[in-house]
């Protein structure tokens, strides 16, 4: 019988360490498990619909893509689990301390964002600015993208760091990053104290989730989820894996935190071509 197969995107070499560790943990606890790494989320979503994998560790954009393809094909996508740290994130729009005072002041200014497919550093903050009246979208001439590792949906921190550096150098007038990186960039010294100011903050949104499609075998999925929820940050063996993956506890999946990204995709047409192509393939 084929093992329960997970798909994940290799955005960093540590992904191998992470899923090798999870594989050992799952198999030591009686779940026959394997994983496949993809170069980018589009190939992962495609493979998921082709039945190559049973569960996909999806970025929020990959979730929106999968959810839209499923709807169009009359199938059903479900978010079954996520990290505690995937819930209630925000992104911030940073300016230099002496820079624009309001969102309207950004008119005609250059806005540094992350990769074109980054929900946190591009799509969600641009949606926030657009919904508050600024004429802006990912392909707007005033938007300066930092397309580090396109296809990884912004999982790589590099695009956000480049956006902040461009802001500090004066190459752009605003930079969009996830809230956690604000503290991280300050602590690592990329951002000097007093240099930058938060101009706007997005509403809270959710990040990655484990996605399954209709027809996934119930028993291994139930076991997979039970083993995830059985991990404890208080135990050294599982804490090592949780620290690598950046969480303290697994949570049941929820999809309420993706509505803003869904609006952004509609407004900017971000997922359209890919979804149409996948639907055409059936």
Partner 1 sequence: MTRRRVVDLTGARMDQGAALIVRHALADMGPGDEVRVVGDDASLVPTLRALARALGAPFTVEADGACVLGASTHPDGRRTGGMLVPTAPADHAHPRWGLAARGTLVEAGGPEFAFPLAEKRAVWTDELARLYAQAAAAQWDPATAIPWAEPRCDDDAVEAAVVQVMAYLVENETAALLVPARFCAQVHPHFREVLQLLAIQTADEARHIEVFTRRAGLEAPRGPGPAPMPPLSTVGGQTSLKSLVDEPDFALASFLLSVLGEGSFLSLLRFLDRYAPDAVTRAVARLAAQDEARHVAFGLAHLERQTALDPSLRPQLAAAVHARHDALAHTAGLNAEVFDALVLIAGHQPNRPAWDPVGIATGWNAVQELIAEMDAGRQVRLRRLGFSGAEAAALSALHTRNFM
From 13, 30, 189, 234, residue interacting with partner 1 (rule: CB under 8 A): 234
Q: What stretches of 144-197 show up as alpha helix (H) in DSSP?
A: 158-169, 179-188
- Binding part of the chain for partner 1, among 20-28, 107-115, 234-242, 255-263 by CB under 8 A, reads 234-242
Please, which of residues 72-111 interact with partner 1 by CB under 8 A? 84-85, 87-90, 92
Paired residues of 103 in beta bridges: none
Paired residues of 143 in beta bridges: 111
Contact between 186 and partner 1 by CB under 8 A: the answer reads yes
Contact between 28 and partner 1 by CB under 8 A: the answer reads no
Let me know: does 54 contact 35? Beta carbons within 8 Å. Answer: no
Query: Closest separation between CB of residue 84 and partner 1, Å?
Result: 6
Could you give the strand order of the β-sheet that contains 77-83, starting from the edge strand earlier in sequence? Answer: 33-38, 4-9, 55-58, 209-213, 77-83, 250-252
Contact between 240 and partner 1 by CB under 8 A: the answer reads yes
Torsion, Cα of 170, 173, 175, 179 (10° steps)? 110
Rounded to a whole number, what is the largest CA-CA distance in the chain? 63
Query: Closest separation between CB of residue 147 and partner 1, Å?
Result: 24
- Binding part of the chain for partner 1, among 73-81, 152-160, 197-205, 211-219 by CB under 8 A, reads 197-205
Contact between 188 and partner 1 by CB under 8 A: the answer reads no
Q: What stretches of the chain show up as alpha helix (H) in DSSP?
A: 14-28, 41-49, 60-73, 124-131, 158-169, 179-188, 218-229, 236-245, 259-268, 272-281
- Binding part of the chain for partner 1, among 3-11, 148-156, 173-181, 259-267 by CB under 8 A, reads 173-181
From 194, 218, 219, 282, residue interacting with partner 1 (rule: CB under 8 A): 194
Contact between 183 and partner 1 by CB under 8 A: the answer reads yes
From 165, 197, 254, 263, residue interacting with partner 1 (rule: CB under 8 A): 197
**Closer residue to partner 1, CB minimum distance, 69 or 95:** 95
From 188, 214, 237, 272, residue interacting with partner 1 (rule: CB under 8 A): 237
Kindly list the distances between the CA atom of residue 231 and the CA atoms of 8, 25, 59, 100, 227, in Å, as whole numbers in the listed order.
19, 10, 22, 46, 7
- Binding part of the chain for partner 1, among 24-32, 160-168, 233-241, 262-270 by CB under 8 A, reads 233-241
Let me know: does 231 contact 242? Beta carbons within 8 Å. Answer: yes
Residues that bind partner 1 (CB under 8 A): 84-85, 87-90, 92, 178-180, 182-183, 186, 191-199, 201, 204, 232-237, 239-240, 248-249
């Amino acid at each position: 019988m084929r093992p329960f197969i997970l798909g994940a995107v290799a955005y960093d070499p540590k992904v191998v360490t992470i899923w090798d560790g999870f594989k050992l943990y799952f198999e030591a606890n009686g779940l026959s498990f394997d994983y496949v790494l993809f170069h980018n989320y589009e190939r992962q979503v495609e493979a998921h619909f082709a039945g190559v994998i049973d569960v996909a560790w999806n970025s929020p954009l990959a979730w929106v893509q999968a959810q839209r393809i499923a709807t169009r094909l009359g199938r059903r996508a479900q978010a079954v689990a996520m990290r505690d740290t995937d819930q209630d994130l925000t992104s911030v729009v940073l300016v230099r301390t002496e820079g624009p005072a309001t969102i309207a002041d950004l008119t005609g200014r250059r806005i540094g964002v992350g990769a074109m497919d980054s929900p946190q550093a591009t799509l969600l903050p641009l949606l926030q600015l657009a919904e508050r009246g600024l004429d802006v979208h990912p392909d707007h001439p005033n938007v300066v993208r930092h397309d580090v590792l396109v296809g990884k949906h912004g999982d790589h921190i590099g695009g956000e760091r480049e956006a902040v550096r461009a802001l500090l150098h004066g190459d752009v007038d605003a930079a969009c990053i996830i809230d956690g990186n604000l503290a991280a960039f300050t602590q690592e010294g990329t951002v000097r104290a007093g240099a930058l100011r938060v101009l706007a903050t997005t509403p809270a949104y959710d990040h990655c989730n484990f996605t399954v499609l209709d027809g996934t075998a119930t028993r291994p999925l139930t076991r997979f989820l039970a083993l995830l929820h059985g991990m404890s940050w208080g135990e050294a063996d599982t804490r090592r894996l949780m620290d690598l993956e950046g969480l303290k506890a697994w949570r049941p999946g929820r999809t309420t935190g993706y509505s803003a990204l869904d609006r952004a995709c509609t407004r900017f047409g971000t997922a359209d071509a890919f979804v149409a192509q996948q639907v055409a393939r059936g």
